[in-house]
Amino acid sequence: MQAIVLVGGFGTRLHPLTRNVPKQMLPVVDRPMIEHVVAHLAAHGVTRVVLSLGFRPEAFSDAYPDGICAGIPVHYAVEPEPLDTAGAVRFAALAAGIRPGNESASSAGSADDVSDTFLVLNGDVLTDLNVTAMVAGHRAAGAEATLALTEVDDPSRYGVVPTDAEGRVLGFVEKPDAGSEPSRWINAGTYVLEPSILERIPAGRRVSIEREVFPAMAAEGSLHAVQSDAYWIDAGTPEAYIRAQLDLVDGTRGDLPAAHPSSTVDPSADVQRSIVMAGATVGPGAHLLNSIVMDAATVGAGAMVAHSIVGPGAHVGEGASLTDLTVIGESESVGAGIELIGARVPGDS
């Protein structure tokens, strides 16, 4: 089976870390985010991944010049212009040789070698979703499209997806007022699709799969969904980017080392639930709490970094204080004694 991973966005919610780097190429503890995504797909039998690219596609091709990511082949489909989610799916599917009907083929093999059914997922979602079971349910239902749903505490921030007893999607309720939502199950950003869906996506313009294609299918009764209580996080905000990494080191989702072997942490530093990446330095008496210190960054003596991110090669001066989701961009410096609360350095111009 092939999977299309949507990685073409600008990642504005993670600025300034994403000013020059696609968010899926940002590290998550020990490797780029995209490798976590692809490795999960490989574990569920996906044999080829198509990266739907837009912003800085060379970041991916330079990182995986042999066309192998997390052990499986990747194909690069670079949009000539932003096409939104459905347009991106159509463009990437056609580039990968996926066609409506029985015309599906791939440069990796003949039509008999590749399943027509394919996956689509958002590249900034980290999940333990049982993709194998989802595909099996999709096929058992004879569905044209199936989307995964995840339950959240506050659905007012998302679009709620009510379903009937057979799993058919009844519609979409965008950002309902607290207390008025029909459920707490939201679109989790993973889809199982049949090639026929490509006929529903007009060529030559931006088309949203969430706002245009899926609602039309729901109105027809041809869209299905499966609920999953598996781990799920949209890592596209500073808060979630931090949490996704801490979950991988504190036992919530894994127990990876929190400090890279090549990092230097002074014995007098107080490091609590924080990630210190390769080549980073944490000085004497520094305090880290629920924070990320990225590759080759330095945190000076006595500095405080709490619930914040220090970007690659950035420097936090002695006695400085970073709190409340402050994000320091690549190679930026924060002077000694400076206090930043919820800041972005540099800010957007």
Closest CA to 52 of 94, 88, 81: 88
Decide if 75 contacts 107 (C-beta within 8 A): yes
Q: In the chain, what are the helix, strand and coil shares in percent, each to the nearest 5?
A: 25, 30, 45
Element (H, E) at 214: helix 214-220
Verify whether residue 175 is a known catalytic residue: yes
Of the candidates 31, 157, 175, 273, the residue annotated as catalytic is: 175
In 47-166, DSSP assigns E strands to: 48-53, 68-69, 72-78, 118-122, 125-127, 145-151, 159-160
Closest CA to 326 of 238, 243, 246, 258: 238
Radius of gyration of the chain (CA): 21
Q: Please list, residue by residue across 31-52, b when 16 or more beta carbons sit within 10 angstroms of its beta carbon and e when fewer do.
A: ebbbbbbbebbbebebbbbbbb
* β partners of residue 3: 49, 119
Q: How far apart are CA 232 and CA 189, in angstroms?
A: 10
Backbone angles phi, psi at 77, to 5 degrees: -115, 105
The CA-atom distances, in angstroms, between 90 and each of 1, 116, 129, 205, 251 are 17, 14, 24, 11, 39
Closest CA to 119 of 23, 196, 4, 266: 4
Q: How far apart are CA 310 and CA 326, in angstroms?
A: 8
Decide if 173 contacts 162 (C-beta within 8 A): yes
Q: Active-site residues: which are they?
A: 175
